[in-house]
Amino acid sequence: MVRYDFKLKIHSDFTRDNERLVKAVNDAARGKNPPDIWPSRMEENESDGPSLLAHLATGKELRRQTTRIYSGLEVLADAVGDIVGRKNLLFFSAGFGDNTGLGTILPDVRYYDNTMQALNDSNVAVYSISVLTGIDFAGLGISNTNSLHDSMNMLSNDTGGRYFFNHVSFSSPLETVLAENNGYYLLSYRSETPAGASGYRKVSVKAKNPEFKVRAREGYRFGA
CATH number of the domain bearing residue 79: 3.40.50
Residue 194 lies in a domain: no
Q: What is the percent of the chain where pLDDT is above 90?
A: 42
Are 113 and 155 in the same domain? yes
Which of residues 67, 85, 111 is at a domain's end?
A: 67
Residue 34 lies in a domain: yes
Are 156 and 91 in the same domain? yes
Q: What is the percent of the chain where pLDDT is above 70?
A: 87
Residue 130 lies in a domain: yes
More confident residue, 140 or 174: 174
Q: Are 55 and 79 in contact (CB under 8 A)?
A: yes
Enumerate residues 6+ apart whose C-beta is below 8 A from 31.
Answer: 3, 5
The DSSP bridge partners found for residue 222 are 199
Residue 212 lies in a domain: no
pLDDT tens per residue across span 17-38: 889 888 998 998 888 888 765 4
Are 54 and 132 in the same domain? no
The mean predicted confidence, pLDDT, of the chain is 85
Which of residues 152, 170, 185 is at a domain's end?
A: 185
pLDDT tens per residue across span 87-131: 999 999 988 888 777 767 789 999 999 999 999 999 999 999 988
pLDDT of amino acid 141? 45
pLDDT of amino acid 142? 45
Distance separating alpha carbons of residues 44 and 55, to the nearest angstrom: 15
pLDDT of amino acid 153? 92
Q: Which one-letter amino acid corresponds to residue 184? A: Y
Give the range of the structural domain holding residue 128, as residue numbers without chain letter. 72-185
Confidence band, pLDDT 50/70/90 cuts, at residue 40: very low
Which of residues 185, 200, 217 is at a domain's end?
A: 185
More confident residue, 41 or 17: 17
Residue 108 lies in a domain: yes
Number of domains in the chain: 2
